[in-house]
Structure 1
Amino acid sequence: MSRFRSVKKSLRDLLGGDDWQDRLAELDEYAPGELVPPLLNLRLDRSEAVRWRSVTAFGLTAGRLAEASMERARVLMRTLMWYMNEESGNLGWSIPNFMAEAMVHSERIAKEFHKILASYIFCDEECDGNFLDHPELRRDVYWGLARLAESRPELVAPSERFLLIGLDDPDAYNRAYAARVLGLLRAAAARDRLQALTDDPAEIRTYLHRELVDTTVGEMAREALAALE
């Protein structure tokens, strides 16, 4: 068995177990660079839980990599950006989640790359954005901005006007995530539009605080409103 397959199997066994959080320290047994390829592969795993948990593991790995070598961390982030480029021929699924989780675990990565993550929802001519037309890909960006706003809200705040637009997105996930980010930012300008979403019954299944959660757009809007109080 190749080293890649061996590491991937070990990671999948770790992330697929009920005790996965207790075992995250086992990631330190590997060099960060050795974990990156299999984690990128696991973002497309058949198991929803493994897919999401690979995001958590990647953030921890990117943080370690940045501590050891910021230049290698920059190469990693640029690789993720390449995945988001149509010319790469790769699938961008979960890549914004990985980018955001890396920023959560490394302040230096966050300061250098947060504008790139936000640019994927920039949707007017005044901003030099990389707006994603595909609504399901935008989900990962909104989720990523919410994750980053949990720990570094000042880096997400400049994107407020585009997040407000997200509240009207036809996609339920995008509405819900935009509401969550605006709540985390304590964005008073969102109050009326969040109120209008409180009865939105659309259901979503997402990953919050390392747990899979079933909720609705309305519930997330109500939580965001509560954060404004």
Structure 2
Amino acid sequence: MSARKIKQQVLELLEQEDLAEIQRGLAALDAKEAVNALIAAICRSEERLRWHAVTAMGWTVARLADEEMEAARIIMRRLLWSLNEESGGIGWGVPEAMAEIFCRHEGLAEEYVHMLLSYMRPDGELPHQDGNFLEHETLQRGLLWAAGRLAQCRRELALAKGMADDLPQYFASPDAEVRGLAARAAGLLGRCSCPKRLHELMTDSAMLRLYEDGKISAVTVAELAAQAAERLQA
């Protein structure tokens, strides 16, 4: 089957509502070929299709890693390169896709999660400081969603890599989605180095859209902050 036909088939699968049906359809395709089509889909403008592609990247790259680990590493390097200014691209959907991959494959998480977290950190003067701070607010939205996803599925690893200290800087973001997702990530992580700033967000009525468990909902920053505060007190 040509790459064009595979891409069209993958897009048709992603338009379905049932994630289980999407997963079954993708499992019938060659993992490498499916991943190439999914990489193009994670930056699509259609909201549901794009999020389904993010979820599907997790399943498919994990399957590829089980079949051929080096091939999966090549995909990870390709995703990371797309976030590099020198790539000429923008990297829409990449942090989200990386988080899904890490949730589905422990080995890839162990190897690459530090790179995802580096995008929350500024470059430092010392040689060991490896920050790659993302300044673009739209990319920060994806990064903070990814942080929340990591907190859900790789909490201990995220804590060990210091993610708790990376989140408070986003509580004061001018972007409501970034603020809300940072609060959510802190709650899911169960650790917050600046609880006072988190509590200040509990009066923030700005709206955002949240993808979780295969569904998209409208929530306020205040709702996410209140949920986070409750988790932190539990």
Instruction: Report the TM range for the smaller structure's normalisation.
Output: over 0.9
Q: What's the TM-score once normalised by structure 1's chain length?
A: 0.94
CA offsets, 1:185-223, max 9 Å, x none?
A: 111534322211001011111211111111111111011
- Residues 145 and 188 of structure 1, relative CA distance in 2, 3 Å threshold: closer
| Unpaired runs of at least 5, structure 1 | none
Q: Distance in 1 between matches of 2:100 and 2:18?
A: 21
| Unpaired runs of at least 5, structure 2 | none
Which residue of the partner structure matches residue 22 of structure 1?
Answer: 21
1:46 CA displacement:
3.6
Moved more, 69-78 or 39-48: 39-48
CA contact (8 A) 2:164 2:192 kept: no
Which residue of the partner structure matches residue 204 of structure 2?
Answer: 200
Q: Distance in 2 between matches of 1:30 and 1:84?
A: 27
Which residue of the partner structure matches residue 11 of structure 1?
Answer: 10
1:124 CA displacement:
6.0
Q: Distance in 1 between matches of 2:193 and 2:113?
A: 22
Identity of aligned residues (%): 37
Q: Counterpart amino acid of 1:147?
A: R
Which residue of the partner structure matches residue 60 of structure 2?
Answer: 61
SS of the equivalent of 1:21 reads helix
Q: What's the TM-score once normalised by structure 2's chain length?
A: 0.92
- Residues 60 and 187 of structure 1, relative CA distance in 2, 3 Å threshold: same
1:129 corresponds, among 121, 127, 131, to: 131
Confirm whether residue 191 of structure 1 aligns to residue 190 of structure 2. Answer: no
CA contact (8 A) 1:121 1:129 kept: yes
Equivalent positions of 1:22-171 (< 5 A) are 22-123=21-122, 125=124, 127-157=129-159, 158-171=162-175
Aligned length: 228
Which residue of the partner structure matches residue 231 of structure 2?
Answer: 227
